[in-house]
Amino acid sequence: MIQRLASAHYVHLKDTSTPGWTPVWSQPENICKDLLVTAGLGVCGYNSICNIRENARPTCSCPAGFTFIDPNDHFSSCAPNFAVSCDEAQRNYTSDLFTFEEAPSTDWPTSDYALLTPFTEQQCRNSCLNDCFCAVAIFKEGKECWKKKLPLSHGQTGWYLSLKALIKVPKRNLPPDRPMFPPPNGKDKSKKDKLFLTGSVLFGTSVLVNILLVGVICLGFYWIRRSRITGKLTLHQSEGFTKLQSFTYKELVEATNGFTEELGRGHFGIVYRGMISNSPVAVKKLINNLMQESEKEFRTEVNVIGQTHHKNLVRLLGYCDEGHERLLVYEFLSNGSLSSLLFGNPRPTWAHRCQIALGIARGLLYLHEECSTQIIHCDIKPQNILLDDQFAAKISDFGLAKLLQMGQSLTHTGIRGTKGYVAPEWFRYLPVTVKVDVYSFGVLLLEIVCCKKNIETEIINEEAGERMLLSDWAYDCYVDGVMEALVEGDMEALSDEGGKKLKRMVMVGIWCIQEDPSLRPSMRKVTQMLEGAIEVPVPPCPFPFMRM
């Protein structure tokens, strides 16, 4: 009798008293390793691991945190016992809820979606923990980090694999994800379960608590209705806000001469020049046809700037909250926006550019670490950096800013910012941290170095015959050692001392625009590197996902 399993052959003699099958020869010798597939299942099912035992027959097992879909078929696929996807159910699961189970000499070679190198094991772990797509990280040869996403295919284990699999599992039991493979009846009971749970909670709640809850809801509706009738916007009465001056709309109409001299436009309003007590001011008038959005922006901006005080932040002097009118009064900065200076002619001196970059970094450091409420600006770009008469940089326009609560380090929110400066994690449903500002600063830093716009520049990739982003071009120039191309022969920037600063600023910029947020430095470290207080290590390629 002969049994065939894939290409392996076994024999069992009828006249022997020894039960079972005995291998005579097999081809290939190790079917787990040698089965030629570029994608798909492999010998075992999805998310499983193939292993060759002593009798040369393959066996399948599930990795930590996974179980067979069909418990009676150990060649079936495995499904995770917890959520590891990037759908709506996963977005509230932060990296501190997960850990790793190590599986030596185990790999799923056809499930890679990112290679990060050179990477330490700790960097590999951090990158996978902060990436909701990453289900397994493979650490190989002491420097390579291969990130893998579900479904995992062609899994195998064996002494011939000189690597380590880091399987991401929850530290405690998490709600199960939607099944990767639907049950036979095709019905999803999650909605029914939720309804049942909700009903149980309601019926199990005491009558007194329900009465109190109804009372609170009614009181809430009353105050909402009252606030709408009065037309007033309730603001956060922080210590900083109470020091702001309240203006009438008529006073600001007179101060701006009827809003005649426009200084610039933002996301939700127009900025006009004005005079108050013989001192120039900038008055931001929010657009009325975006009332809901502009009121939110008004509240955010007053709350944020009203409680901050730093030489690299624009100072808010007062506000107007009258009827449907929402206006903000700022200090006037005589040299306008960085955008006008940076992309105009002639270009600012190298010394001024270095001073401006350091000032922006210090302002962001204050927002991220030194302010009483941690603030993510969310829209760092040249148009939102203003310059005083000494060309000192001041961060402005906090309308899109995100405030974090005490002890909170990340948040989930819709995409904010401006094209060309938005960090990749906004588009990957990852938790947003202060590292989105670090990314935007990195793009801005490279613009300050080159005096070119990131997405509207005429840099041409001659080999590919296409335009390049400034960040791509700057990295290529750094790798090729042609830093002079970035500053177009600016002798001040290329002098002995200037050349050191040039290389340092470019390297810091490359670190800041890393696609992996965990690799980006904090603004404290950025500031220290720009100041020359600490060495800048050699940065890796910031676009590993796009250059594979």
- Compute the distance between CA of residue 517 and CA of residue 433 in angstroms, rounded to an integer: 9
Q: What angle do CA 512, 503, 145 make, to 5 degrees?
A: 45
Residue among 321, 379, 397, 472 flagged as catalytic:
379
- Kindly state the DSSP code that residue 515 receives in the 8-state scheme: S
Residues in the chain: 548
Q: Is 188 a catalytic residue?
A: no
Q: What angle do CA 248, 254, 259 make, to 5 degrees?
A: 100
Q: Which of 272, 275, 256 has its CA nearest to residue 264?
A: 272
- Compute the distance between CA of residue 357 and CA of residue 532 in angstroms, rounded to an integer: 13
Strand 325-331 vs strand 316-322: parallel, antiparallel, or unpaired? antiparallel
164 annotated ligand binder: no
- Compute the distance between CA of residue 3 and CA of residue 11 in angstroms, rounded to an integer: 7
DSSP-based three-state secondary structure for 1: coil
CB contact at 8 A, 58 and 396: no
Q: Encoding tokens for residue 249?
A: 């709309």
- Compute the distance between CA of residue 239 and CA of residue 504 in angstroms, rounded to an integer: 40
Q: Encoding tokens for residue 414?
A: 């819709």
In the chain, DSSP finds a helix count (H) and a strand count (E) of: 15, 26
- Compute the distance between CA of residue 514 and CA of residue 475 in angstroms, rounded to an integer: 11
Q: Is the four-CA dihedral 502, 503, 508, 510 of positive or negative sign?
A: positive
- Compute the distance between CA of residue 331 and CA of residue 280 in angstroms, rounded to an integer: 7
Q: Encoding tokens for residue 522?
A: 């904090």
- Compute the distance between CA of residue 284 and CA of residue 262 in angstroms, rounded to an integer: 10
Strand 316-322 vs strand 245-246: parallel, antiparallel, or unpaired? parallel
- Kindly state the DSSP code that residue 337 receives in the 8-state scheme: B
Q: Which of 431, 376, 417 has its CA nearest to residue 131?
A: 431
Identify the helix (H) or strand (E) that includes residue 124: helix 121-129
Neighbours of 75 (CB within 10 A): 15
Q: Which residue has the tokens 């959005």?
A: 293
Neighbours of 529 (CB within 10 A): 21
What residues form the annotated binding site for ATP? 285
* Positions marked active-site: 379
